[in-house]
Chain A
Amino acid sequence: MIGIYLPGAFIIGGLLLVNRNKMLSNLLVLAFLVLQWIFTVYEYRHINITEFNYFKLDALALLLLITLSIIAIPAMYHSHIYLTTKKDTPRNSAIYYAATVILLTTLSAAYLSNHIAVTWIFIEMTTLSASALIYHRRNNRSLEGTWKYVFVCAISITFVFIGILFLSFSLQHRGGGGLTFDALLTNAATINIFWSRLAFIFIFTGLTAKLSLVPMYTAGIDAKDKAPSPAGALFASVLMNVGFVGFFRIYIVFANTSLHSWTNHVILIAALLSIFVATVYMVKVKNIKRMLAYSSIEHMGLIMLGIAAGGIGYYAAILHLILHSFIKSSIFFQVGQVYRVYKSKSIYDVGNYFKYNLTGAIVMLLCFIWVTAMPPSGLFISELMIFRALFQSHYIIVMVLVMFFLTMIIWAFGKNIFKLLFAPPVGFDDSNVVKINPVESISQFIFLGLIVYLGINPPVEFVTLIQETIKNLPK
């Protein structure tokens, strides 16, 4: 099926790029969504079958693919709204749609690929389409964001490639198929320690650009800030997941070698530093979208903490990853509306949101509660499990530190969100405020509901899939 999906999606992307007709482009986007869903359903029914040597849909890929397909629908819907309200030129719209389609396609392919080099190629391709989205507004600042993103990503993929080279050094038999994740896992016991240590360091450092962790988190911040909100929603959810896929598959290999505890320490340090950085900037930041981007860093840090702690932390990490994708994309969709009301993302220029957009304000309030992991949010469950895992693996000091940081983050987050919702805006002319149709918030409500459902009463199949994902990790 991937043999049909990839060419099909690329053809749709290509057509979108050359097409200037509005009607036709809407139809093409719809066609892509249909294709995406057919593909998802087909793969769901053919789990764990290798296609074209390099693609295999395992549980993790399936979970993330479904997440992507779910998020893709509102993303396209909000993109449509964004482009029509902004009255963009047909050329810019065409590039935007084409880039989004290519981004989603390469992401899906990267989830499915079972060969580290193939994953790498598709991650490389996501950079290309993402940069087109970041540069959508075509001004100085978006150019700056694009350049930084492209440059940091270029370095990061180089690092990943160096890591892959070191990984190939570490193999005993350097045959053709030695670098599939399955083969790596089978040969995990025999790999050379020195090279694989270097390999892990380089691959992990490289992937932090996509994962939004220290040290290469900066690229993602500017990208999420400068890209249009629907694209930002994709960056903050599915694009981060692709980094996680690359990381997690390698991590499974390393967890089965004697380097397991060493890798855990590396991850723990990166995670802790990420949460620290996120805290520092959350307190300081004055731009709503950048604040959300830093919040993504914090959540990714938590996920990594779960992985490093092990035990129940693995389960919690995967759960948190999926729930975070939903919540972060819905906030970004919502911020698009805020921007349309106030024409600004700065926290100084916004306020009294309840007065101007009641539904949107309710969504914003709920999103705040959800993203800071207060009950009944599903993230509460996953964070609780992560802390439990930390406690069980005797990372008490880490846990205390992280709890302290999280308190700060909740305070900073709340301060800004309440300013948006309740405090009166400074110098805001409310004579002709744009009316936002409440229909546009339906997808966010659905996502919020989904988070509660998956967190509190997860369906059995969902749980089995997560269990399946982490079955190769040592207990």
Chain B
Amino acid sequence: MINVLLIIFTISLLYLSIADRLLTYIKILAFQGIILFGVAFIELIQINPVNLALVLLETIVFKTIFVPLFLNYIIKRNKITRDSEPFLPNFISLIVITLIIIITFLLSNSIVDSSISKIYFIVSLSAIFSGLYIIATRKKIITHVLGYLVIENGVFILSLAVGTEMPLLVDLGILLDIFASVFLLGIFVNKIGDVLKDVDVDQLKKLKD
């Protein structure tokens, strides 16, 4: 079952690569939150109930409801145009993300350790690099934040791989997630949106040599 959920998660990455609108990105993030909820529930069922409740709450309340709503609010408030405005055509993005998945899959071949399930490794690394790719190839600052959130989801999956043995690391991952997302989004909504109106990366090119 976990395998199926993780494969669906990876498919959502592919969809992310061809999505045109920011709203689609946000929906995908919410969807990924639901999948992570499922994965965390199945994987971590044996750990301490309080801790489990924390993890599940984080995935469902924070990742699935709070962050997407907040992103939506930011987009509306700052009147950001709805296109994602990639530098590269979506078709190339799709090929690149497919290649990322293939490469992580091939890389996972060289794992000799049997105690870690390989699929976690493949899916999380694909998510991390897809997130980096999205950050690198999208023009808007808000899409950078979205890419970062995808990376966070990848990290969360990776932390689940050792979740039963080291629940501490899952908690740390959640800490990072909440800290960084709130921090980034907070700066965005309070400062960037007020100071720079229609926000894209071109306005952040004054500091250079």
Contacts and interface: CB of A to CB of B under 8 A. Distances in A.
Given A164-B169, A176-B166, A286-B209, 19 more contacts: A121-B172, A140-B195, A141-B207, A147-B141, A147-B187, A147-B192, A151-B184, A154-B183, A157-B180, A158-B148, A158-B151, A162-B158, A165-B158, A165-B173, A192-B113, A194-B110, A195-B111, A195-B113, A287-B209
Interface string B155-173: 1001101100110110011
Given A143-B191, A145-B207, A128 B116 contact: no
A222 interface: yes
Contact of B204 (A148, A161, A168, A284): A148
B112 interface: yes
Interface string A144-179: 111110110011011001101100111000101010
B207 A154 contact: no
Contacts of B176: 124, 157-158, 161
A39 interface: no
Contacts of B179: 124
A356 interface: no
B158 A140 contact: no
B102 interface: no
Interface residues of B, number: 41
5 contacts: A135-B191, A155-B132, A168-B169, A169-B115, A286-B209
B207 A174 contact: no
A150 B169 contact: no
A470 interface: no
A281 interface: yes
Interface in A369-393: none
Q: Which one of A128, A151, A195, A225 has the greatest number of beta carbons of chain B within 10 Å?
A: A151
Chain B binding surface SS class:
helix
Given A154-B180, A155-B151, A120 B209 contact: no
Interface string B183-207: 1100100011001100000011011
Lowest 7 CB-CB distances: which A-B pairs, in order?
Answer: A174-B165, A154-B180, A285-B209, A144-B204, A165-B158, A222-B207, A192-B113
A141 B207 CA distance: 7
B67 to A, nearest CB: 14
Contact of A140 (B162, B172, B196): B196
Given A222-B207, A225-B207, A150 B183 contact: yes
Given A147-B204, A165-B155, A284 B209 contact: yes
B195 A148 contact: no
A117 interface: yes
B128 interface: yes
A150 B144 CA distance: 12
Contact of B148 (A117, A141, A151, A192): A151
A225 B207 CA distance: 9
B152 interface: yes
Interface of B: 110-113, 115-116, 128, 132, 135, 141, 144, 148, 151-152, 155, 158-159, 161-162, 165-166, 168-169, 172-173, 175-176, 179-180, 183-184, 187, 191-192, 195-196, 203-204, 206-207, 209
A192 B115 CA distance: 11
A140 B206 contact: yes
A149 to B, nearest CB: 10
Contacts of B209: 281, 284-287, 290
B169 A144 contact: no
Given A147-B187, A155-B151, A165 B113 contact: no
A148 B168 CA distance: 30
Contacts of B135: 155
A222 B205 CA distance: 11
A128 B183 contact: yes
A158 B113 contact: no
Contacts of A328: none
Q: Which one of A128, A165, A169, A174 has the greatest number of beta carbons of chain B within 10 Å?
A: A165
A320 interface: no
A136 interface: no
Contacts of A121: 172, 175
Contacts of B203: 144
A157 B152 CA distance: 11
Contacts of B183: 128, 150, 154
A154 B168 CA distance: 20
B168 A176 contact: yes
Contact of B187 (A145, A146, A285): A146
